[in-house]
Structure 1
Amino acid sequence: MGNDSTDRIVEGLRRWITTAPPGAQVPSNRELTAEYGASPVTVQKAMRVLAGLGLIESRPGVGTFVRAVRTARPADYAWQTAALGAPPSRLLGLPSAQRSTAPDAIALHAGYPDRELLPERLVRSAIARAARTDAAITRSPVAGMPDLQAWFAAELAGAAPAGVTPPSARDVLILSGSQSGLSSLFRALVGPGQPLLIESPTYWGAILAAAQADVTLVPVASGPNGPDLEDVARAFEQTGARAFYVQPTFANPTGAQWSTQLGRDVLELARRHGAFLIEDDWAHDLAIDADPHPIAAADDDGHVIYIRSLTKSVSPALRVAAVTARGPARDRILADRAAESMYVSGLLQAAALDVVTQSAWRTHLRSLRELLRARRDLLVESLREHAPDAHLELTPQGGLNLWLRLPDGIDAAGIVRACEGRGVIIADGTEWFPAEASAPHIRLNYSGRDPDRYPEAARIIGEEIERASTDHPLRGTAVRAD
């Protein structure tokens, strides 16, 4: 407190307060001045300190009193147990990719690029311009702004082979991010209790959306080249499923890209079984060494339901995506979206359209390729040097992630906890499996902040894997990164 006389008064009164009953009147300032031989100013400072500590309270015109201790009654939420019932296991907890971290942590777990990889100047200018238009004060059409619908349709039409009728603007429905669209698609196209084929591993958000829609997941193993065609055919035949959720381009988490032939073959299977192919083209704008070739571009009879998002390539603050669907499926999805969210903010739509129609947008995408390549390669090389027991089966040609298999018998969750204790945040691969995990994995995102710290992160990951392997009595044979 910085003043001996003030400290002496405060300590004396604190001792007195411990024996005084709540509500007892504190001696007046005049009495305290005389008792402690201090000036009135010093006594007033001491009283302010005690009041700040919550020990006394002043009642104007009456005096100062010992503050009664008010014990807060603990809130009782027990009634909610019966009201909520048993939770679906997939809805428990926050996914590791969405966790917040300390500012000094090395964050390799998140699903979004660092701000230096975003077209920040374009976004800020676009938002400012959109705010000066009617989009800032009017309601958007339920299906979306016509000009933005047309842009998404034209993007897909530009990839269509000769002889295929491209989608129209009407076939496009604007969403507030692709995640909200997945739940609608699963409800509208599959339905509660019905089977949905899904790659394994796959995007955790799709697994969550399926749980929310109460559909029955049918995992189909998928590797660095996508799923095996015979496995897909068998799953369709055995389950009678009418939909298959896929990420053919730079899949999350594996980074796999299907061949053009596999895309055609799976589309033909869907046609043969009268089923939908739900194509999530989440990384369309995140190509590095290969270009995206949407399966939907080769479809003109409504079997492919195509989702594309701008959230990761434009800005996480502009949650704008689109689903392209034809026929009655489009109408069912639209009805579900209208009931779920009514419409998407016209302000966000206008800003997103402004960004992607600027000539600087294409320039940004070209520079983004190089930035992502440099980060990816740095992290890959760092892992090869410092974490050789983490097996990288595929160096992705696009997207944001590396998918690493740990030595058999290693507890991935334990590695995640150990790394977090040392300031490196990574994601447990278990969350990307719709059923039991086939092996322990971790997912690392190479688009986060501080890429210069990737070698440090790789060293810590390698040390923790080595420590866990040494401590494990049944250590399997480690497979080295290549």
Structure 2
Amino acid sequence: MTNDSSRRIVEALQEWIKSAPAGAKLPSTRSLVSRHGASPVTVQKALRALASQGLIESRPGVGTFVRAARIARPADFGWQTAALGAPRNRLSSSPAAMRPASTDAIALNGGYPDRELLPERLIRSALGRAGRHDTALSRSPASGLPELRSWFASELAAVTPAGVAPASAADVIVLPGSQSGLSSIFRALVTDGRPLLIESPSYWGAILAAAQADVRLVPVPTGPAGPDPEEVARAFEETGARAFYVQPNYANPTGSQWTRDTSQQILEVARTYGAFLIEDDWAHDFGITTDPAPVAAHDDSGHVVYIRSLTKSASPALRVAAIIARGPARERIMADRAASSMYVSGVLQTAALDIVTQPGWQTHLRGLRHQLRSRRDLLADSLEKHAPLATLTALPSGGLNLWIRLPDATDLPSFIQRCETNNVLVAGGNEWFPAEPTGPHIRLNYSGPNPGAYPEAARVIGHILGESAIRE
């Protein structure tokens, strides 16, 4: 009853305010109580509602008045254009992989595993203990906690063959996520305007980091088994580049994994040209039918700069990664890190180390392998059944994504929009090409929420492609 009374008072006063001049005084609370037969509490509630709408204003000790209408004046930020100047690169601030999804959407566009794929109990316990650790009250070493650096080094050393000197903790730099590490590497090792070879397609975040560092990207075509070593050699020869950004294991977006021969040959090419391989091992923990084989494990002469993250496999909130680099390259990267972020939170580092050294971590990874395989196969089978015009380039042996080629005549922006209208979110493939795309592609993430909806998503994709083919 009180809510109805309050609403009637609000509606009556709104009508009165329409014809009242600005600054007109409203009837007193006592008068409104009498007029509407309501309690003082109900009247005050109505006045607060009108005030929240910007229609009235209260002047303590004087009364309540009709608020003067204020004409909204558009903000003028033109001065900033002159102060900032033209941008060197027009960068996208909202890549498809980072777009939020509504709760009822089938989200295949994301880049992070769903919560059910994370070791939640390990994370919560580790963060609780980290809060009681001394690192919660102290500054961490610039290169990271010694124990965590040792763990990263030992992970790579465990797969290093005999005859190759393994990495040590002294070679490791802990980072607040791998994205900032890529930026530091490009600035420190490539520098402004210099060429950087990059697989095409490749990770959109690396393309973004290169653009921010004003690095000139040189695309090198890649396939299910990696790039052609001869093409890589030719690109080094023609451009004078001294670095090549690569994802040898479960590449984003294609899911490709280099063969052992490809890895050895491309490492030899880098040695021949006195160049760096910047190896992004982002999906190290996401092997499904194979195990990751880091190229860095076969190099002890500083040609491979290795970066590995725990953000996706542990938790998006745990932004901890590491670079393993040797020689002067490490010192240059370290100098850049000092300028951009002096150190990484000791609490996060302590929690990360706690998680990965618990026996439950390996148990989690074994279970994750089976979960990813089930999800991958469900999405791939659903597409084969319901969307025959969507071609899976190769079934990945690890990672989180399927790379899908669409028919040549597909209007990609229109296709993406129609999918979204039908509550299916996909990531357009153009963002993963450092130059012009080779055709219309989409990247579908099979680690997101609600895998039971994959068949329905495939039906939507198939229906839209089918309709487009008929119109053609």
TM superposition score normalised by structure 1 = 0.93
Q: Find the aligned partners of 1:7 and 1:276 in 2 and give their Cα distance.
A: 70
Flag the 1:59–1:394 CA change in 2: closer, same or farther, 3 A.
same
Q: Is the 8 A contact 1:288 1:397 kept in 2?
A: yes
Alignment of 1:305-384 (within 5 A): 305-384=305-384
Q: Find the aligned partners of 1:220 and 1:368 in 2 and give their Cα distance.
A: 32
Q: Find the aligned partners of 2:9 and 2:187 in 1 and give their Cα distance.
A: 70
Residues 316-363 of structure 1: per-residue CA shift (max 9 Å, x gap): 111111111100001001010111100111111111111111111111
Q: Find the aligned partners of 2:340 and 2:4 in 1 and give their Cα distance.
A: 65
Amino acid aligned to 2:362: R
Flag the 1:25–1:141 CA change in 2: closer, same or farther, 3 A.
same
Residues 162-212 of structure 1: per-residue CA shift (max 9 Å, x gap): 111111110011111111000100111111000000000000000000001
SS at match of 1:91: coil
SS at match of 2:323: strand
The alpha-carbon deviation at position 134 of structure 1 amounts to 0.6
Residues 135-180 of structure 1: per-residue CA shift (max 9 Å, x gap): 1111110111111111111111111111111111100111111110
SS at match of 2:217: strand
- 1:477 aligned residue: none
Q: Find the aligned partners of 1:456 and 1:25 in 2 and give their Cα distance.
A: 60
SS at match of 2:399: coil
For the aligned residue pairs, the C-alpha RMSD in angstroms reads 1.9
Flag the 1:386–1:89 CA change in 2: closer, same or farther, 3 A.
farther
Amino acid aligned to 1:209: A
Q: Is the 8 A contact 1:391 1:404 kept in 2?
A: yes
- 1:476 aligned residue: none
Unaligned runs of 5+ in 2: none
- 1:459 aligned residue: 459
Amino acid aligned to 1:49: A
Alignment of 1:429-468 (within 5 A): 429-468=429-468
Q: Find the aligned partners of 2:215 and 2:4 in 1 and give their Cα distance.
A: 71
Flag the 1:411–1:26 CA change in 2: closer, same or farther, 3 A.
same
Q: Find the aligned partners of 1:4 and 1:241 in 2 and give their Cα distance.
A: 74
Q: Find the aligned partners of 1:295 and 1:409 in 2 and give their Cα distance.
A: 38
Q: Does structure 1 residue 422 correspond to structure 2 residue 422? A: yes
The alpha-carbon deviation at position 442 of structure 1 amounts to 0.1
The alpha-carbon deviation at position 102 of structure 1 amounts to 0.6
The alpha-carbon deviation at position 43 of structure 1 amounts to 7.7
The alpha-carbon deviation at position 32 of structure 1 amounts to 5.6
Q: Does structure 1 residue 214 correspond to structure 2 residue 214? A: yes
Q: Does structure 1 residue 192 correspond to structure 2 residue 189? A: no
Q: Find the aligned partners of 1:4 and 1:296 in 2 and give their Cα distance.
A: 71
Amino acid aligned to 2:328: P
SS at match of 2:374: helix
Q: Is the 8 A contact 1:5 1:42 kept in 2?
A: no
Report the identity percentage.
64
Amino acid aligned to 2:86: A
Alignment of 1:283-294 (within 5 A): 283-294=283-294
- 1:53 aligned residue: 50
The alpha-carbon deviation at position 59 of structure 1 amounts to 3.1
Q: Is the 8 A contact 2:7 2:46 kept in 1?
A: no
Amino acid aligned to 2:186: F
Q: Is the 8 A contact 2:88 2:214 kept in 1?
A: no
- 1:475 aligned residue: none
SS at match of 1:53: helix
- 1:183 aligned residue: 183
Q: Find the aligned partners of 2:347 and 2:5 in 1 and give their Cα distance.
A: 62
Q: Is the 8 A contact 2:372 2:447 kept in 1?
A: yes
Flag the 1:29–1:260 CA change in 2: closer, same or farther, 3 A.
closer
SS at match of 1:222: strand
Q: Does structure 1 residue 75 correspond to structure 2 residue 75? A: yes
TM superposition score normalised by structure 2 = 0.95
- 1:227 aligned residue: 227
Q: Find the aligned partners of 2:199 and 2:144 in 1 and give their Cα distance.
A: 30
Flag the 1:10–1:311 CA change in 2: closer, same or farther, 3 A.
closer
Q: Is the 8 A contact 2:177 2:320 kept in 1?
A: yes
What count of residue pairs does the alignment treat as equivalent?
Answer: 469
Amino acid aligned to 1:401: N
Q: Find the aligned partners of 2:7 and 2:359 in 1 and give their Cα distance.
A: 68
Flag the 1:370–1:90 CA change in 2: closer, same or farther, 3 A.
farther
Q: Find the aligned partners of 2:9 and 2:170 in 1 and give their Cα distance.
A: 78
Deviates more, 1:57-66 or 1:452-461: 57-66
Deviates more, 1:128-137 or 1:65-74: 65-74
The alpha-carbon deviation at position 64 of structure 1 amounts to 3.0
Deviates more, 1:88-97 or 1:369-378: 88-97
Residues 295-336 of structure 1: per-residue CA shift (max 9 Å, x gap): 110101110101111111111111111111100001001010
Residues 260-282 of structure 1: per-residue CA shift (max 9 Å, x gap): 11101000000000000111111
Unaligned runs of 5+ in 1: 473-482
Q: Find the aligned partners of 2:45 and 2:172 in 1 and give their Cα distance.
A: 65
Q: Does structure 1 residue 91 correspond to structure 2 residue 91? A: yes
Amino acid aligned to 2:133: T
Q: Find the aligned partners of 2:412 and 2:101 in 1 and give their Cα distance.
A: 19
Q: Is the 8 A contact 1:10 1:47 kept in 2?
A: no
Q: Find the aligned partners of 1:5 and 1:174 in 2 and give their Cα distance.
A: 62
Q: Is the 8 A contact 1:90 1:208 kept in 2?
A: no
Q: Is the 8 A contact 2:10 2:50 kept in 1?
A: no
- 1:260 aligned residue: 260
The alpha-carbon deviation at position 16 of structure 1 amounts to 3.4
Amino acid aligned to 1:230: E
The alpha-carbon deviation at position 88 of structure 1 amounts to 4.3
- 2:108 aligned residue: 108
Amino acid aligned to 1:163: G
Q: Find the aligned partners of 1:198 and 1:165 in 2 and give their Cα distance.
A: 27
